[in-house]
């Protein structure tokens, strides 16, 4: 479909029309997609509808707009030669995505790759294939030429995942997942030196200064760690609180957390659902044990709920206080609803600790002093820094990591760089 097919040769406006059409068809079926996503992943259906489906549609529309805006340059080198550049699709792109935002991650990947004229083989995570399959089905119905958008299900190692990352006819692989898997993808890429972009884990510092709007920061801290059951690579899992407001902050936080309604993701009242799998639940609970052994103070949670939630892989919203930045609970990605609270004395101390981590995907800063905020924004080694907000996304704004959180920036015009060659 890439070499011989019509996709990269068709009018850019026609590619755009198909992507807009796909977005419209997904939007029309918002309820169906929300249900599917929740059945697969467990997340609250309200979030599936208002976050995952809405942002998926917006992402496809945003990249539909790019189809007609891809440009080369004419460069005046001298009067003797005529020089210009072309921006061309890379070819066949392999995309391997995780289970935490199955349809949204599919949109982040498919939108720009297709807009640029590539053909795609996308592998959803083995736990959550349904919405990607449904998107593939709709793409055929709205008129994408066969072979342009391919959804292949299967496992990672020794299966569909490694088949993609090793394949000599795949020109680029884009991956989102654990850093351990990211290394395997890079190793596999050496066969044909395929282009690689990686979006890996994180352990974000979320920093609350005493001069912040404390109620807003409490809500932001909760959004930072409990959204999507904490299964978010940019989760604000290291919460630094200035000592002066620590007690006030913690009492407000625990009061609110105590009121969170945990339950079946399909229940409209649920705000925190189950983890994606038994394996993840056990991994999270084992980190709770580690934190206790390290001497962190358990404030709430740390176990699965009993009583009326006997079925399902639930973990109670968990907060550990008096954590030190060098403890494992502060350094390793738990990927669950487990918050590590680290009290700090002053700006200098927190600035140092924020960067003492192998990851660098995101950070949060809460303060009413904009000078302090901007200073820290430039100091923190992270691809995204939110000030007085958290987990805010828009297809226009780039996302990606420093350090072990990966390389390449997605979204905005940055994805266009990832999916084109310059000739
Ligand atoms: P998680 O632990 O969160 O499931 P992974 O990094 O294991 O994260 O999985 C993310 C995606 O990578 C999934 O689609 C999975 O099937 C795939 N995957 C896992 N291992 C490999 C591998 N060795 N090669 C290619 N893909 C893999």
136-189 per-position pLDDT tens digit: 999 999 999 999 999 999 999 999 999 999 999 999 999 999 999 999 999 999
Compute the distance between CA of residue 2 and CA of residue 4 in angstroms, rounded to an integer: 6
Catalytic residue among 233, 234, 242, 333: 233
Q: Which of 176, 174, 179, 175 is nearest to 203 (CA)?
A: 179
User: Is 116 part of the annotated catalytic residue set?
Assistant: no
Ligand 1 binding pocket mutation candidate from 95, 161, 313 (most atoms within 8 A of CB): 161
- Range with lowest mean pLDDT among 175-184, 309-318, 327-336: 309-318
CB-defined site of ligand 1, < 6 Å:
96-98, 123, 125-126, 155-157, 161-162, 165, 177-178, 181, 184-185
CA 249 to mean position of chain CA atoms: 28
257-267 per-position pLDDT tens digit: 999 999 999 99
β 402-403/359-360 pair status: antiparallel
User: Is 199 part of the annotated catalytic residue set?
Assistant: yes
21-30 per-position pLDDT tens digit: 999 999 999 9
DSSP-assigned beta bridge partners for residue 199:
176, 406
Other beta carbons within 10 angstroms of residue 324's beta carbon come to 15
Tokens, residue 384: 């995204």
pTM of the model: 0.97
**pLDDT for residue 96 is more than 80:** yes
Q: What percentage of the chain reaches a pLDDT higher than 70?
A: 100
What lies within 8 Å, CB to CB, of 228 at 6+ separation is 43, 47, 100, 101
Distance (angstroms) between ligand 1 centre and the Cα of 295 equals 32
**Helices (H), strands (E): how many in the chain?**
15, 19
Inter-residue contact 43 to 156 (CB < 8 Å): no
The band of 308, judged by pLDDT with boundaries at 50, 70 and 90, is confident
The band of 310, judged by pLDDT with boundaries at 50, 70 and 90, is confident
Q: Angle CA(6)–CA(10)–CA(11) in degrees, nearest 5?
A: 175
């Amino acid at each position: 479909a890439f070499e011989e097919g019509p996709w990269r040769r068709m009018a850019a406006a026609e590619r755009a029309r198909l992507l807009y059409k796909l977005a419209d068809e997904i939007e029309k079926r918002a309820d169906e997609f929300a249900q599917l996503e929740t059945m697969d992943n467990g997340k609250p259906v309200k979030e599936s509808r208002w976050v995952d489906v809405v942002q998926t549609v917006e992402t496809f529309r945003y990249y539909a707009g790019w189809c007609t805006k891809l440009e080369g340059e004419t460069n005046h080198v001298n009067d003797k030669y005529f020089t210009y550049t072309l921006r061309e699709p890379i070819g066949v792109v392999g995309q391997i995505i995780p289970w935490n935002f199955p349809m949204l991650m599919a949109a982040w990947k498919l939108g720009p790759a297709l807009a640029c004229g590539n053909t795609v083989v996308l592998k959803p995570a083995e736990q959550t294939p349904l919405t990607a399959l449904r998107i593939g089905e709709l793409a055929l119905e709205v008129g994408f030429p066969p072979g342009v958008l391919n959804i292949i299900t299967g496992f990672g190692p020794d299966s569909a995942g490694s088949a993609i990352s090793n394949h000599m006819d795949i020109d680029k692989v884009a991956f989102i997942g654990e850093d351990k898997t990211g290394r395997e993808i890079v190793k596999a890429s050496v066969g044909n030196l395929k282009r690689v972009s990686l979006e890996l884990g994180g352990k974000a510092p979320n920093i609350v200064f005493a001069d912040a709007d404390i109620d807003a920061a409490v809500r932001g801290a909760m959004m930072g760690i409990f959204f999507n059951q904490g299964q978010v690579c940019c989760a604000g899992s290291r919460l630094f609180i200035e000592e002066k407001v620590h007690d006030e902050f913690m009492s407000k936080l625990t009061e609110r957390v105590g009121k969170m309604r945990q339950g079946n993701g399909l229940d409209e009242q649920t705000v925190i659902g189950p983890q994606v799998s038994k394996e993840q639940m056990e991994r999270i609970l084992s980190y709770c044990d580690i934190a206790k052994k390290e001497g962190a103070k358990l404030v709430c949670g740390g176990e699965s709920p009993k009583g009326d939630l006997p079925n399902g892989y639930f973990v109670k919203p968990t907060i550990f206080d008096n954590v030190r930045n060098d403890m494992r609970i502060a350094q390793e990605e738990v990927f669950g609803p487990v918050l590590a609270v680290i009290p700090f004395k002053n700006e200098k101390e927190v600035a140092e600790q924020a960067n003492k981590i192998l990851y660098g995907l995101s950070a949060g800063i809460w303060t009413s002093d904009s000078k302090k905020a901007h200073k820290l924004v430039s100091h923190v080694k992270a691809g995204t820094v939110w000030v007085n907000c958290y987990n805010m996304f828009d297809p226009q704004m780039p996302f990606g990591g420093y350090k072990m959180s990966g390389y390449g920036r997605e979204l905005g015009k940055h994805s266009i760089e990832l999916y084109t060659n310059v000739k």
